[in-house]
Amino acid sequence: MISGHVFIATSLDGYIARNDGAIEWLLERDDPSEDHGYDAFIETIDAIIMGRGTFDAVRDIKPWFYTRPVLVLSATLADQRPPVELEDKVRFSGKSPEQAMAMLEAEGCRRAYVDGGQLIQSFLRLGLIDDMTITQVPVLLGNGRPLFGPTPSDISLTHEATQAFSSGLVQSRYRVVR
Amino acid sequence: MISGHVFIATSLDGYIARNDGAIEWLLERDDPSEDHGYDAFIETIDAIIMGRGTFDAVRDIKPWFYTRPVLVLSATLADQRPPVELEDKVRFSGKSPEQAMAMLEAEGCRRAYVDGGQLIQSFLRLGLIDDMTITQVPVLLGNGRPLFGPTPSDISLTHEATQAFSSGLVQSRYRVVR
């Protein structure tokens, strides 16, 4: 059975990026000497699902950052082919979240990393997220792109662990209650 | 010099109450046997400042909950007298946040507890908050009354401490960087 996982940083007021996508507020407060667990997390992951917004933000970063196969869910991109240099790393698909998870499962994928605010919100609303690791950055941005959005009803969580870092980042892991 | 302090609980998606003011989602997840530090916090406080929304929510709770003098900032209530049973505990004022802090300071108050989402947002924007203790409750509400709101610029914070409780509540204290 495939499961969905979130690993993301937000400002204390819940934004994952400024309105223009900028994340310099995060990079400035990151301490590269601290291990925030991304590498250990990604080791457990078989595939990465992201939306077009996230793909557009990372597509030109060289070298390509992701070490797992990436599935980009986008009605706009579905009919296009990925850039040549990414064609063995990235697929575009117009599938729904449920269809995408079913496809990955049929391919043998057991754990999918769901990235990007809009996609995380969709997957949460559909009950496709199993756990979330959220790293809170000690700053209030006042506005930007929120991690969370409206939900049809409460989504109850089980707190699993919290770790505070010297940099001021606070990372908590929650399991989504089904 | 007077200082402003916040001590409040939010859902993981940043709401302090549902749109109708309900906080049953918080009470259900609270474990009364855990000490979340409110009593120790309030011991350090000389006066409490709240807005009309918060006062309306607590005015009929018997017995009166607050153990420190309460100042209610409200243009609407400023010309009225507090309820008789609260007249030695509550004052109404139409002062601005700055004026209210100056008045309390002149009266010898050194630490003011600022309560309620709208008032906390105003005080933050005006640079009148020195530190915040925020307790995050493991639930996503999807909508409601947010703790934080727009700010004219970034508000940088210094993380001071984080404590996770068995109930799943995670409490962090931040100092506001001036």
CATH 3.40.430.10 describes domain B3-13+35-176: yes
Q: Per DSSP, which regions of B38-169 are E strands? A: 47-51, 70-73, 90-93, 111-115, 131-137, 139-140, 145-146, 155-164
Question: Encoding tokens for residue B140?
Answer: 């996503």
Record the pTM.
Answer: 0.96
B18 interfaces chain A, CB cutoff of 8 Å: no
Q: How far is CA A9 from CA A12, A84, A98, in A?
A: 9, 30, 25
Contact B141 A162 (CB under 8 A): no
Pairwise CA distance, residues A111 & A85, whole Å: 25
Pairwise CA distance, residues B166 & B178, whole Å: 34
Contact A164 B159 (CB under 8 A): yes
Average pLDDT of the residues of chain B: 96
Residues in B closer than 8 angstroms to A147, CB to CB, are 13
- Sorted by where each begins, the domain ranges of chain B are 3-13+35-176
Q: Write down the pLDDT at residue B178.
A: 85
Q: Write down the pLDDT at residue B57.
A: 87
Share of chain B above pLDDT 90, in %: 94
Residue A178 has pLDDT above 90, yes or no: no
Q: Which of residues 111-170 of B touch A (CB under 8 A)?
A: 124, 134, 136, 138-143, 147-159, 161-162, 164, 168-170
Architecture (CATH level 2) of domain A3-176: 3-Layer(aba) Sandwich (3.40)
B80 interfaces chain A, CB cutoff of 8 Å: no
Strand partners, B173: B133, B161
Torsion angle (degrees, nearest 10) of CA B90, B94, B98, B102: -50
Q: Which of A151, A154, A168 sits opposite B25 (nearest CB)?
A: A154
B92-127 pLDDT, tens digit each: 999 999 999 999 999 999 999 999 999 999 999 999
Helix (H, G, I), strand (E, B) or coil at A38: helix
Pairwise CA distance, residues B117 & B94, whole Å: 18
Q: What is the largest CA-CA distance in chain A?
A: 46
Q: How confident is the model at residue A57 (pLDDT cuts 50, 70, 90)?
A: confident
Question: Encoding tokens for residue B21?
Answer: 């003011």
* Residue A139: Cβ within 10 Å count: 21
